[in-house]
Structure 1
Amino acid sequence: MTKRKKAIDPAVRVEDLRELIRRYEHAYYVLDQPEVSDSEYDTLFLELRRIEEERPDLVSSDSPTQRVSGEASDQFAKVRHRSPMLSLQNAFDEAEIRAFDKRVRGAVGDKVVYCAELKIDGLAISLTYGKGRLQRAATRGDGTIGEDVTANVRTIRSVPLAVSPAKGLPDVFEVRGEVYFPIAGFERLNREMEAAGKARFVNPRNTAAGSVRQIDPNVTAGRDLQTFMYTLDPGGPARSQWDVLNTLDSMGFRVNKNRRRLDSIDEVIDYHAEWQRRRHELEYEIDGMVVKVDGFAQQLELGFVARSPRWAIAFKYAPEQAETVVEEIACYVGRTGVLTPVAHVKPVIVGGVTIRNVTMHNEAQVNEKGVYVGARVVIHRAGDVIPEIVSVKKPKPGWKMPTRCPVCGGEVVREEPYIAHRCINPFCGAQRLERLRHFAAVMDIEGLGYATLTQLIDRGVVEDPSDLYRMSKDQVIQLEGFADRSAQNLVDRIAASRQPDLWRFLFALGIPQVGEATAQLLAADFSSIDPLRAAT
Structure 2
Amino acid sequence: MTDSAAIDDNLETTAGRPLDPALADLTLEQARTEAQTLTEQILGARDAYYGQDAEIVDDATYDAWMHRLEAIERLHPEVQGQDSPTLTVGAASGTLFAPVEHAERMLSLDNVFSDEELLAWAARVERDAGRSVHYLCELKIDGLALSLRYEHGRLTSAATRGDGRVGEDVTDNVRQVRGIPLALAGEGHPALVEVRGEVFFNVADFESLNEYQESMGDRLFANPRNAASGSLRQKTEGKNEKQLDAVHQRLSRLRMTVHGIGAWPDPPVTTQSEIYALLESWGLPTSEYFRVADSAESADEFIRHYGEHRHDVEHEIDGVVVKVDELALHDELGATSRAPRWAIAYKYPPEQVNTKLLDIVVSVGRTGRATPFAVMEPARVAGSVVRQATLHNQDVVKAKGVLIGDTIVIRKAGDVIPEVLGPVVELRDGTERAFVMPSECPECGSTLAPAKPGDIDLRCPNARSCPAQVRGRVEHVGSRGALDIEGLGEVSAAALTQPVRPETPPLASEAGVFDLRPQDLFPIDVVVRDAETGLPRLLDDGTPDTRSPFRRQRKKGDPEFDADGPFDGDAGHVLSVAATALLGNIERAKTKDLWRFLVALNIRHVGPVAARALAQWFGSVAAIRAATRDELAAVEGVGGIIADSLVDWFDVDWHREIVDRWTAAGAQLATPGHEGPGASIIEGGVLEGLTVVATGSLEGYSREGAQEAIINAGGKAASSVSKKTDFVAAGPGAGSKLAKAEELGIRILDAAQFHVLVTEGPAALGVAPAAPVE
- TM-score in terms of structure 2 length: 0.37
2:214 to 185, 189, 194: 194
The 1:220–1:100 alpha-carbon spacing in structure 2 relative to 1, beyond 3 Å, is farther
State how far apart, in whole Å, the 1-side matches of 2:397 and 2:227 are: 19
Give yes or no for contact 1:359–1:387 (8 Å, CA) kept in 2. Answer: no
State the superposition RMSD in angstroms.
4.3
Among 343, 358, 365, which residue is 2:373 paired with?
Answer: 343
Alignment of 1:400 onto 2:420: no
Partner amino acid, structure 1, of 2:258: M
Structure 2 residue aligned with 1:38: none
Spell out, residue by residue over 1:287-306, the C-alpha distance to the aligned partner (whole angstroms, 9 max, x if none). 00011111111111101112
What secondary structure is seen at the aligned counterpart in 2 of 1:116? strand
- Change beyond 3 A, Cα 1:133–1:384: farther
Q: Does 1:367 align with 2:404?
A: yes
Aligned to 1:155: 176
Confirm or deny that 1:146 pairs with 2:167. yes
CA distance in 1, matches of 2:271, 2:227: 33
**How far off is 1:389 after superposition?**
4.3
Amino acid corresponding to residue 271 of structure 1 in structure 2: F
Match 1:250 to one of 281, 286, 294: 281
- Within 1, Cα distance between the matches of 2:723 and 2:136? 53
C-alpha distance in 1 between matches for 2:722 and 2:179? 47
Amino acid at match of 2:255: Q
Offset of residue 111 of structure 1: 1.9
Alignment-derived partner of residue 183 in structure 1: 203
Shift of 1:309: 0.6
Distance 1:358 1:281, change over 3 A: farther
- 1:370, 1:156 → 2: CA distance? 31
Write the letter of the residue equivalent to 2:145: A
Name the CA distance, whole Å, in 2 between partners of 1:407 and 1:344.
Answer: 24
Contact 1:166/1:247 (8 A) holds in 2: no
Contact 1:367 1:398 in 2 (8 A): yes
Q: Structure 1 residue aligned with 2:261, among 213, 220, 232?
A: 232
SS, match of residue 176 in structure 2: coil
Q: Which residue does the alignment assign to 2:192?
A: 172
Residue pairs, 1:112-127, within 5 angstroms: 112-127=133-148
3-state SS of 1:309 partner:
coil
Given that residues 183 and 204 in structure 1 are in contact (C-alpha distance below 8 angstroms), is that contact kept between their aligned partners in structure 2?
yes
Structure 1: distance between partners of 2:417 and 2:224: 11
Residue in 1 that maps onto 2:325: 294
The 1:79/1:385 distance shift into structure 2, 3 A limit, reads farther
SS at match of 1:367: coil
Equivalent position of 2:43 in the other structure: none
Which residue of structure 1 lines up, in the alignment, with residue 100 of structure 2?
A: 79
Equivalent of 2:248 in 209, 221, 229 = 221
CA deviation profile, 1:62-118 (whole Å, cap 9, x unmatched)? xxxxxxxxxxxx941111011010000011111211121121011112321111110
Asked if the contact 1:203–1:382 (Cα under 8 Å) also holds between the matched residues in 2, the reply is no
Partners of 1:350 and 1:381 within 8 A in 2: yes
Query: 5+ unaligned residues in a row in structure 2: which ranges?
Result: 1-94, 237-243, 365-370, 424-430, 440-447, 457-639, 642-718, 725-774
Q: 1:122 to 1:483 in 2, by over 3 A?
A: closer
For residue 219 of structure 1, report the CA deviation from its aligned partner.
Answer: 3.7
Letter in 2 for 1:201: F
Q: Is 1:98 equivalent to 2:87 in the alignment?
A: no
Could you give the per-residue CA deviations for residues 313-361 of structure 1, whole angstroms, max 9, x where no partner exists?
11110126999x977379xxxxxxxxxx86389xxx9859999744694
User: 1:115–1:287: structure 2 CA closer, same or farther, 3 Å change rule?
Assistant: same
SS state of the match for residue 308, structure 1? coil
Q: State the 1:220 CA deviation.
A: 4.1
C-alpha separation in 1, matches of 2:198 and 2:221: 20
One-letter amino acid of the counterpart of residue 405, structure 2: E
Q: Which residue of 2 aligns with 1:277?
A: 308
Contact 2:319-2:345 within 8 A present in 1 as well: yes
List gaps (5 residues or longer) in structure 1.
Answer: 1-73, 331-340, 372-377, 413-453, 456-480, 487-536
The answer to whether the Cα contact below 8 Å between 1:367 and 1:396 also exists between their aligned partners in 2 is: yes
Partner of 1:534: none
- Where in structure 2 are the equivalents of 1:26-105 lying within 5 Å? 75-105=96-126
The verdict on how the C-alpha distance between 1:251 and 1:386 changes in structure 2, with shifts beyond 3 A counting, is farther
Farther off after superposition, 95-104 or 308-317 = 95-104
SS at match of 2:315: coil
* 3-state SS in 2 of match to 1:365: coil
TM normalised by structure 1 equals: 0.53
Q: Does 1:328 align with 2:362?
A: yes
CA distance, structure 2, for counterparts of residue 116 and residue 485 of structure 1: 45
> C-alpha deviations, 1:170-212, integer Å up to 9, x for none?
2221111010011111112223333444322110000001010
In structure 1, distance between residues paired with 2:722 and 2:261: 61
User: In structure 1, how many angstroms separate the alpha carbons of the residues matched to 2:197 and 2:360?
Assistant: 41
- 2:130 counterpart residue number: 109
Indicate how the Cα distance of structure 1 residues 399 and 107 shifts in structure 2: closer, same or farther if over 3 A, else same.
same
Q: Give the 3-state SS of the residue equivalent to 1:85 in structure 2.
A: coil
CA drift of 1:383 comes to: 8.9
The whole-number CA distance in structure 2 between the counterparts of 1:93 and 1:145 is: 33
SS of 1:178 mapped into structure 2: strand
CA distance in 1, matches of 2:336, 2:419: 37
Partner amino acid, structure 2, of 1:311: W
Paired residue secondary structure (1:200): coil
SS of the aligned residue for 1:260 comes to strand
Distance 1:206 1:483 in 2: 40
1:310 offset after TM fit, Å? 0.6
The list of structure 1 runs, each at least 4 consecutive aligned residues, that deviate by more than 4 angstroms after superposition, is 320-323, 349-356, 358-361, 382-386, 389-392, 395-398, 401-410, 481-486
* Residues 512-523 of structure 1 aligned to structure 2 (within 5 Å): none
Greater per-residue strand proportion: 1
Corresponding pairs, count: 326
Deviations 1:141-174 (A, max 9, x none): 111111111111100111001113664x422211
Judge conservation of contact 1:232–1:248 (CA < 8 Å) in 2.
Answer: no
Q: Percent identity?
A: 40
Q: Match for residue 526 of structure 1?
A: none
Aligned partner of 2:202: which letter?
P
Counterpart position of 1:524? none
Q: Which residue of 1 aligns with 2:293?
A: 262
1:408 to 1:244, Cα distance in 2 relative to 1, 3 A: same
**Pair 1:271–1:369, CA change in 2 (3 A):** same
In the alignment, the residues of structure 2 paired with residue 482 and residue 103 of structure 1 have an alpha-carbon distance, to the nearest angstrom, of 55
Which structure is larger by alpha-carbon Rg, 1 or 2? 2
SS at match of 1:305: coil
Shift of 1:221: 3.0
Is 1:285–1:383's contact at 8 Å kept on the other side of the alignment?
no
Aligned pair in 2 of structure 1 residues 138, 225: CA closer, same or farther (>3 Å)?
same
C-alpha separation in 2, matches of 1:294 and 1:365:
46
CA gap of 1:195–1:222, structure 2 versus 1, over 3 A, is closer
Aligned residue identity for 2:362: E
Amino acid at match of 2:349: A
Query: Contact 1:241 / 1:295 at 8 angstroms: preserved in 2?
Result: yes
Instruction: Give the structure, 1 or 2, with the largest relative contact order (CA under 8 Å, sep 6 or more).
Output: 1
| Partner SS state of residue 129, structure 1 | strand
SS across alignment from 2:306: helix
